[in-house]
Structure 1
């Protein structure tokens, strides 16, 4: 891929004057951060106790832990103020354009990092490649494919007209460089809102030379993703917040991009408008979050400053949302937080007068009732507005999920790798002490060790692949049964409707049953995949432990290999994508009235729905299942590479003793290091637990 790298003159988006407020709400992260600090100290200690190879590994794990970056995906209703909320969450009001053209399909990832300097602020923008653009032009994206399958010629023609219009406007903006830009990436050594608008917000006036153009929206048609990296010292740890384009665009490009963004994050924040709540209009939104674990969904009800009586209205809105989610198979236990990006922005900028006295009084009364504010008089005006805004509550919810989810998973993984590093040092101490005290060890033949390592690696990978092959085949069969059963029930319902009501009355059928069946099949597969991975990782760890015992004669009570934690299974967000049965109203009515005769209805309906749902089933049993298999194999490969490095190093040290481990030969020094190592291993065990 061609990369257009440009380091521009120094510049930056202006941060809010009261950015220190961003620290309020992250207090819940402290236990996790303390564990992280303890683990980093243990890694430093291991690095000092070991040789250069051990030190390199410890430093690598230390870097991974320090720069671990949990990600949060933001999705929302139209006009819910999602982007304004994101801007407030990162402390840069007006950074991202809040009003974008419906064609704009950019995921903007904001990387907040307290460990970098402001000089390291930068931005990167990636364009659609030729294949992605061609799919839109040739087939009109997902909606074009759907219309073509359904035989909706009128709809398909409208899509084609819109695509042609968009293509011509893009060519007009970008000239003969249009095709050359596809697949490229533009990098900048700074960011500001003007730069961002050039790539994600469509404008009207453009210069002829795209190389020097500073015009708004010049590249917005073809921009696929934006990455903004910013110094944010108020944050307790790195964090990525992804602002998605939503799910309601003409060609369903947004929907597909948003689905991918949700899969890449463990936490999803759904932004709703207080005056809009949640209704059947938002079914596309509900379908997406229905396939994410309730624990990983936070619902932020924004624009509460627009409510006339928040004390009365907020409980009603909460109950309405719960009811809608329950009726439409949404995440029933998702946490609901009421917020106001407007209040947060006023607090960050110090523009206290932006909130009128009556609104402030009403919101304060509700905030006290809600418990987010205990003593309004003890707070500065900015702190009061910030607490009322709900941002600290959102941060607290994120902190809890990071600590219990992605953060703890990271601690477990690195602590287990560190434990294996410590066990390797423990084995090295024992090898040297036994060599020096004339206790015989089995001779270490490097050729034998290499052969044994290769055998373990080949057998473990083959076992993992074979186990997944069986599990995936079972998954595919279950998906096929569920798919076939749904099509038979839907077609049967259609024929019954025709028999009872004739062809004049339009029939509708809810596809949620199919989604539930497919989601259940995926969840069963995910549990089996994780158990398979866990069992094989433990078995492989035991095999490596036997190598240590046979080659180094380590004491069994002092030694063991920690198996890695199986990777998490991503949510099947794909199940939330729009299919033909979701499109009600005039579109479906026209399809219905074009059919004539029972056989035509039944045959064409079955063919259309099968064509619509086949790609979902194939993706679950194919790309999704394979990605889980590959993640498990990658965990296994990394574990085996770690053990190979340790065993190879230990065999060389044992072969070359006493010179190869001279620092360990002093009895007093050895005792001190063994005591330090024992303490470090105790710390690692506590963290991993």
Structure 2
């Protein structure tokens, strides 16, 4: 594998992690994926050397796209599961993110490891809530306030109002008149440290009469919505984004909403549980969210096993409990489960294994005896502890999924582009059978080419819009039908309960049926749209192919490959908490406020419709629009790339000072194009040089 460290930017980690080389254990599993990108780089380099200026520019553009491939992983989980400590261990920077945050904090922190060089040396960026987000929280108490209001939960609403008032007072004390000016803004820095991060994401104590202009912990944490940090870790061999989300079980349900959006932006999710809490039946919010993620895209990491008294016997019990709970509540029952301890990992990285708590050390010894050979511990004690932390196993699981999933998809998209660039070189070098003639000139002027490409774009965008609109209409009808059906069935069940048991027996109803209907409708819609998008892209490739033939007066089509459409994102919003998910005093209070069968039925339908309408609206609007936008972006980018390649040739055509013409009779060019084609075909199949498909598996 080639060393790519020179390609990466980002702030370098401080020196308080003397065993950062341990990060190489686990991340070596990314080598297969990296080798594929390196082969594509080699193919682009060969094309750049053999082609003209337009080919060189095309190769440079594609190489920049390789630089910007950044697989992302979203970490979700319970409060106090040790999720942030695990993230700190994964990036080899103990203490980078504050592990003990106030429950109000709702900051999604994205750690961009080894980002490409940027024009501006920005290594930290913090974005604040806009006025809409803040007003919704302050006026209504956020999602939980809206839900409590509809459910008639006065006691809970009083708690929410009290917390909101305290939050408002702290914000005013910290920021004063600057508060209004900061809404919707951002702060960017060229460098960062733990103190700066704590200022934006960690709520501190009351500050009394402290100078509001002073740099203090948590000063901006009330209004910070997202944080992006860019760091350089040479031990991790590729760009990678690890997104730390707040725990979902907070008072305002703000975190649930933010986590839903974060999951939409990532292909992979790691659910972090505490070995003490594991995944009990009360963690329904987590189960609802992950039930909409493919099991292959979810990894469960059970943290804090260092606090177990007997991990050898307790770990199998916890595993069985998690699997039973997931199966019972329609979760991804076959998701991979990894056990470990961020506490052990951080002590291994910092070289402080001997300073661990006595109970943790005893647990570690029991776990080592079960899982490691004695010589492994004697040769490298820090490596042994790092292995037992579970972080290397987590990285290997992530690498396997990225290599097979998001990484291979990115490679396939780029391989198709590299292949198309090579076909363009072949067409440009076509000699028409005359061995010593110059490369074939373009038969069209620049304005005519622009007009042709615009005609292709307009026609194919129109076809895509029409196909999407047709599927969207059917999808909306199906969603509305499912929604009405659920409300009718639930209301009928309520009436039957009242007739049988009277008004004193509290009734509950499980909304799982609604979620299944909505998920089924979305899956069918996504499949139809994906099929329509593939057809439009294939037709676009044929249009561009025909234009190459026309512009270069070729005897045959080049065989331009269409791009691969983006995946359909999971409908995580279906897992959003609704009133029927809440039991206990909330639902009982709602029940006790009703009198008469008619009042029950009307109030129930009104409340549940108000609760579920936002989910259905999101599926119709934001979720569907996301699919459309990604399809249109793929189409526009595909057309723009070929438009740029052909227009660049119109600029080259007038030049007469080329060192040598492009001729297919040139054996070097012929060998280069053959080698590039072989590379493209190989990496598209998921294998690298000298490797068979069986080896890759």
If the length of structure 2 is used for normalisation, what is the TM-score? 0.91
Q: Counterpart in 1 of 2:4?
A: none
Q: SS at the partner of 1:186?
A: strand
| Distance change (3 Å), C-alpha of 1:431 and 1:647 | farther
Residue 451 of structure 1 and its aligned partner are, at CA, apart by 3.5
| Distance change (3 Å), C-alpha of 1:364 and 1:154 | closer
Q: Counterpart in 2 of 1:351?
A: 352
Q: Counterpart in 2 of 1:321?
A: 322
Task: Determine the C-alpha separation between the residues in 2 that align with 1:525 and 1:643.
Answer: 30
Q: Counterpart in 1 of 2:109?
A: 108
Task: Determine the C-alpha separation between the residues in 1 that align with 2:620 and 2:36.
Answer: 38
Written as runs of structure 1 = structure 2, the 5 A alignment for 1:594-609 is 594-609=593-608
Q: Counterpart in 1 of 2:60?
A: 59
Q: Counterpart in 2 of 1:424?
A: 424
Q: SS at the partner of 1:430?
A: coil
The CA deviation string for residues 420-442 of structure 1, in whole angstroms up to 9 with x for no partner, is: 11111111001587696599999
Alignment partner of 1:398 is 2:398: yes
Residue 83 of structure 1 and its aligned partner are, at CA, apart by 1.2
Q: Counterpart in 2 of 1:664?
A: 661
Residue 550 of structure 1 and its aligned partner are, at CA, apart by 3.3
Residue 628 of structure 1 and its aligned partner are, at CA, apart by 0.5
Task: Determine the C-alpha separation between the residues in 2 that align with 1:589 and 1:31.
Answer: 56
| Larger CA deviation: 195-204 vs 462-471 | 195-204
| Distance change (3 Å), C-alpha of 1:666 and 1:328 | closer
- State the number of aligned residues: 673
The CA deviation string for residues 599-658 of structure 1, in whole angstroms up to 9 with x for no partner, is: 00011001110111011111101111111011101100011111222233445656x58x
The CA deviation string for residues 284-305 of structure 1, in whole angstroms up to 9 with x for no partner, is: 1111111111111110001111
| Distance change (3 Å), C-alpha of 1:32 and 1:368 | farther
Alignment partner of 1:577 is 2:576: yes
Q: SS at the partner of 1:25?
A: helix
| Distance change (3 Å), C-alpha of 1:601 and 1:379 | farther
Alpha-carbon contact 1:114-1:232 (below 8 Å) kept: no
| Distance change (3 Å), C-alpha of 1:561 and 1:378 | farther
The CA deviation string for residues 440-479 of structure 1, in whole angstroms up to 9 with x for no partner, is: 9995355544433222111111000000111111111111
Task: Determine the C-alpha separation between the residues in 2 that align with 1:406 and 1:280.
Answer: 32
Alpha-carbon contact 1:114-1:235 (below 8 Å) kept: no
Residue 375 of structure 1 and its aligned partner are, at CA, apart by 4.7
| Distance change (3 Å), C-alpha of 1:661 and 1:121 | closer
Q: Counterpart in 1 of 2:616?
A: 617
Q: SS at the partner of 1:291?
A: coil
| Distance change (3 Å), C-alpha of 1:440 and 1:329 | closer
Q: SS at the partner of 2:176?
A: helix
Unpaired runs of at least 5, structure 2: 1-10, 686-697
Residue 13 of structure 1 and its aligned partner are, at CA, apart by 4.9
The CA deviation string for residues 10-63 of structure 1, in whole angstroms up to 9 with x for no partner, is: 997554111110110122211111111110111122222223332222112212
Alignment partner of 1:218 is 2:219: yes
Residue 598 of structure 1 and its aligned partner are, at CA, apart by 0.4
Residue 160 of structure 1 and its aligned partner are, at CA, apart by 2.7
Written as runs of structure 1 = structure 2, the 5 A alignment for 1:502-517 is 502-517=502-517
Alpha-carbon contact 2:431-2:439 (below 8 Å) kept: no
The CA deviation string for residues 221-246 of structure 1, in whole angstroms up to 9 with x for no partner, is: 11111111111111011111111111
Q: Counterpart in 2 of 1:477?
A: 477
Task: Determine the C-alpha separation between the residues in 2 that align with 1:504 and 1:472.
Answer: 44
| Distance change (3 Å), C-alpha of 1:442 and 1:75 | closer
Task: Determine the C-alpha separation between the residues in 2 that align with 1:341 and 1:184.
Answer: 34
Task: Determine the C-alpha separation between the residues in 1 that align with 2:186 and 2:601.
Answer: 48
The CA deviation string for residues 132-160 of structure 1, in whole angstroms up to 9 with x for no partner, is: 11111122111122223334444434423
Q: Counterpart in 2 of 1:5?
A: none
Q: Counterpart in 2 of 1:544?
A: 544
Q: 1:678 aligns with which of 671, 674, 682?
A: 674
The CA deviation string for residues 570-600 of structure 1, in whole angstroms up to 9 with x for no partner, is: 1111111111111110011001000000000
| Larger CA deviation: 136-145 vs 283-292 | 136-145
Q: Counterpart in 1 of 2:491?
A: 491
Residue 663 of structure 1 and its aligned partner are, at CA, apart by 1.9
Q: Counterpart in 2 of 1:300?
A: 301
Alpha-carbon contact 2:58-2:645 (below 8 Å) kept: no
| Distance change (3 Å), C-alpha of 1:94 and 1:679 | same
Task: Determine the C-alpha separation between the residues in 1 that align with 2:428 and 2:77.
Answer: 55
| Distance change (3 Å), C-alpha of 1:273 and 1:555 | same
Residue 120 of structure 1 and its aligned partner are, at CA, apart by 6.0
| Distance change (3 Å), C-alpha of 1:610 and 1:244 | same
Task: Determine the C-alpha separation between the residues in 2 that align with 1:352 and 1:524.
Answer: 52
Q: Counterpart in 2 of 1:648?
A: 647
